[in-house]
Chains A and B, each alone.
Chain A
Amino acid sequence: MPLADLLLPNAIIPALKVNGKKQALQELAARAAELTGQNDRVIFDILMQREKLGSTGVGNGIAIPHGKLAKLGKLFGLFARLERAIDFEALDGQPVDLVFLLLAPEQAGADHLKALARVARLLRDPDVARKLRDSRDAEAMFAVLTLPPASAA
C-alpha cells in the first residue's frame, strides 16, 4: 500500500515549533482535527493512550504516534518536521524531530497494521530520514514520503 493513499499533500507541516512531547501531540491533534473534521481533544486522548504503553518514539529521532478513531472515514496520515528536536521519551533516548501521525478507522483492521508497518519501515531507512531532514518545504517532504524508494527504481 503506497503511502500516497493515506497522506495528502496538505498534511505536511514543514517546521512545527513545539517545546515538548505533550505540546507536539496537542498541535498534531489540532491539525489532524482540522483536516479530518474530528474533535481534537478525542484525537489527543487516543494518542496519549498509546503513549502510556510505551513511547512511539521508535529511535533515530523518529516518532510515529498512532491510534484508532471510531468515526474516521479512512486512514489518515500527518507528517511534521519539528523546528527543534524534543524529548519524546524515545526508546534510544534520542530527541525526536520527525513525527508521523497515523489515525485509523475502527474497522480498518489489517490495513491499519500494514500502514503502520509501512510508515515505520520507511522512516527506519536512514536515507529517507536524512532526505526529510534536508528538505525545506512541504512539497519536497511529500515527495520523499510518497515516492517509491530509490532502490526500486
Chain B
Amino acid sequence: MGTLDTVSIGILLAAIVILAGILSSVIAMRFGAPLLVVFLLLGMLAGEAGPLGIQFDDVKTTYIVGSVALALILFDGGLHTKFATFRSVLAPATTLATIGVVITAALTAPATHYLFGLDWVASLLVGAVVASTDAAAVFFLLHARGLRLRPRVAATLEVESGSNDPFAVFMTLLLVQYLMLGDLPVQTVLARLATEIALGSLVGMLGGRAIVIVLNRLGLSQGLHAPFVMTSALVIYGVAASLHGSGFLAVYLAGLAVGNRPTRAHRSIVSFLDAVTWMAQIVMFVLLGLLVSPARIVDSLLPSLGVAAVLMLIARPAAVMLCLTPFGFHWREKLFISWVGLRGAVGIFLASIPLLVGLPRASLFFDIAFVVVLVSLLIQGWTLGVAARWLHIAFSRFDPILRRVELDLPGQLAQELVGYRVGAKSPYIRRGILPSWAKLMLVIRNETVLVATEAGNVREGDHAYFLAPLEKAPALDRFLVDMPPPAAPDPRLLGDFFVAADTPLGALAEIYGVEIADADASTTLAEFFRQRLGRSARKDDLVPLGTIALLASKVSEGALVTVGLRLAEPEPEDLPAPPAGWRAKLKGLVRRAWIELVRQR
C-alpha cells in the first residue's frame, strides 16, 4: 500500500504544480511578464530549494518529455505558418537557421572558454546549446502582445525559430558525440547533416500529406480527428528520428503541410493542438525548472550572465547582420531580429543531453544554459514591445483582440461559418461594407435567432454569423470589429451626391444641366457604365459624363447599385497632403528659404 500512496501523492503534487502554472498565467498576463519565465520559476519553486522540496533529478524522463513537447510545439508552429509566408522568407530564415546558428555558437564559445575555462569543444557545445531561438517563445511573445510587426520581419522570425531548432539539435548531438568518442571526420559530419535534412524533410512532407489524406478520406468519428493528428505527428517524429533523419524538422514540415491544406475538422484540430502546446510548454518548463538546482546556479551566476550578455549583445546581432545582409533588410529590422533572438526551453532541453550521456561537467553546461535562457526571456521578452516601437517595426495600430467564432460545416472543406459580436465602430456598421465573398446567414439579437432576411440591418451588439471561404475568414475581422475611423479617404473617389443606378441619364441631365445625346436620355446609369467600360462596373470605377464624373460607389453581387456624382474637380486643399517625412520637411524648408531669399532681392 505504501507504494500506491507514493504514486497518489506523486500525481497530486504534479497536478498541483501544473495547475499552479495554468493559474499563474492570469497574473503573468496582467503584468506582461513573460509567461514562460513564470513556468520556469514555478518549477524551481516546487523543486528542492522551494517549500514543496520535490527532489527531482530524472534527466531521462526530462529528455523524453522534452522531446515529445518540443515535437508537438514545432508541429503546432508549422500548423500555424502560412505556406506563402514560409516561402516568402525561406532564404533569409534558413540562412539564419543554419549559418546563423553556427556563427552564434562560434561567437558565444570564446565567452564560455574564457569565463569558465572550458576547453574549446565544450565551449562550442555550450554555444550550440543556446544558439537556437525558441519557437514557442517567439510565437507566443509575438502574438501575446498583439503586436503588428512588419510582415517580413514577423515571418522571418517565426520561420527561423521553427527551423533552427533541428539544426541546433544536430549540432549539439554532433559535439556531444565528438566529446565522447573523440575523432569525427568532416566527411562524416557533412554526410550526416545531409542525411538528417534529407530524411527529415522527406518523412515530414510525406507524413504531412498522409495525415491530410487519411483525415479527409477516412470517416473518423468527430472527436478523434485532433488526437489522430497529434499522434501522427509523434509517429512522424519517431519514424524520422529512428531513420537518423531530423525528427524535429520532420514534424515542423508535417505541421506546415497539414496546416495549409483544407482538412476536415480543421478548427478543432488547431484548437486541440493549441491546448496540447500549452500543456507541453507548461510541463516542459516546469520539469526543467525542477531539474535545476538553484544553489548550484548561484555558484556560476556571474560568468553565466557574462555568457548571456555576449550572446545577446554580440553573437546574435553579428549572426543576424551577417546572414541577412544579402536580403536587403533595413538596419532597424536587423537590429530588431537580433533582439528577438529569444531563447527558450530548447536551450535547456539541449543542455540536458550532456547530462543524459554523462559528459564531465555536464551540470555546469546545464546551469549556464538555464541562466542564459532565463535572462533572455526576462530582458528580451519583456522589452520586445518597446523595441518594436522604438525601432519602428510595429505598426502603430494594434491588432484588435476579438472573439471570432468559427464553425466547421460538415461535408465540405471550402467554407465555414464565422461569427462576430458586431462592434459599434466597425466599418460594417458605420458604412455597411462587407466583402463580396462573405454572406450574412444568421443574426442573434437580444437572445433571438434570426435568419438574415428577418434581421434586416445588422445593428451594434448583434451577433452576426457569416458564411465565408475558409482561408479568407480572418480577413473578415477588419470589417466587423471596432476600428478607428480610417484616414480621410481619397477625395477623388468620393461622390458629392448619390443616385440609384437605375436612374436614366435624362433625369440627371435635367437636374444638373449635363449635356447628353438625345439617344441616351433613357439609358440608365448602370447601362451607361457597361457601355463605357465594356464590362459591368466594379467599385470605384470612374466614368465621365459631360462636365461631371460618375463613380461606381456601391456594387453588390456584381450589380451596380449606387452611383456617386462628382460635380466638380476636387480643389487642391481637398487632396491629401504628401506624407511629410523629414526629407519632405527639409525640402519644404529649403524651398521656402529660397523663395524668401529671392523675394528679398
Residues of A within 8 A of B (CB): 49-50, 53-56, 58, 64, 66-68, 91-93, 108-110, 112-114, 116-118, 120-121, 124, 149, 151-152
Q: Does B593 contact A (CB under 8 A)?
A: no
Main secondary structure of the interface of B (DSSP, over half): mixed
21 intermolecular pairs with C-beta atoms under 8 Å apart: A53-B499, A53-B500, A53-B503, A54-B497, A54-B499, A54-B562, A58-B496, A66-B511, A91-B498, A92-B431, A93-B457, A110-B547, A112-B512, A116-B497, A116-B567, A117-B566, A117-B568, A120-B496, A120-B497, A121-B571, A151-B573
- Which residue from chain A places its CB closest to the CB of B548 in the assembled complex? A113
CA distance in complex: A152, B571 (Å):
13
- B13 interface residue (CB < 8 Å to A): no
B589 to chain A, nearest CB (A): 20
Q: Is B513 an interface residue (CB 8 A)?
A: yes
Chain A proximity of B424: nearest CB distance (Å): 13
Q: Could you say which interface size class chain B belongs to?
A: 20 to 34
Given contacts A56-B497, A68-B511, A68-B513, 11 further A-B contacts (CB under 8 A): A53-B507, A54-B562, A58-B498, A91-B498, A93-B457, A113-B567, A116-B497, A117-B567, A120-B567, A121-B491, A121-B574
- Contact status of A112 and B513, CB under 8 A, knowing A92-B432, A93-B432: yes
A54 → B minimal CB distance (Å): 4
Q: A114-B568, A116-B567, A117-B566 are in contact. Are A54 and B494 (CB under 8 A)?
A: no
Task: Mark each residue of chain B from 73 to 114: 1 if its CB lies under 8 Å from any CB of chain A, else 0.
Answer: 000000000000000000000000000000000000000000
Residue in contact with B513 in the complex, picked from A49, A54, A109, CB distance below 8 Å: A109
Query: Cβ of B430 < 8 Å from any Cβ of A?
Result: yes
Q: A67-B511, A92-B430, A93-B457 are in contact. Are A54 and B500 (CB under 8 A)?
A: yes
Contact with A along B503-525 (1 / 0, CB 8 A): 10001101111000000000000
When the two chains form their complex, are residues A117 and B507 in contact, meaning their CB atoms are under 8 A apart?
no
Q: Would you list which residues of chain B between 356 and 407 have a CB under 8 Å from chain A?
A: none
Q: Which residues of B lie under 8 Å from residue A93 when comparing CB positions? A: 432, 457
Alpha-carbon distance between A92 and B507 when the two chains are bound, in angstroms: 23
Q: What residue of chain A has the Cβ atom nearest to residue B577's Cβ? A: A151
Q: Are A113 and B432 in contact (CB under 8 A)?
A: no
Closest B residue by C-beta to A116: B567
**What's the least CB distance linking B501 to chain A, in Å?**
9
Contacts of B491 in A (CB 8 A): 121
A-B pairs, 4 with minimum CB distance: A120-B496, A54-B499, A117-B568, A117-B567
| Complex CA–CA separation, A108 to B512 (angstroms) | 10
Shortest Cβ distance from B457 into chain A, in angstroms?
6
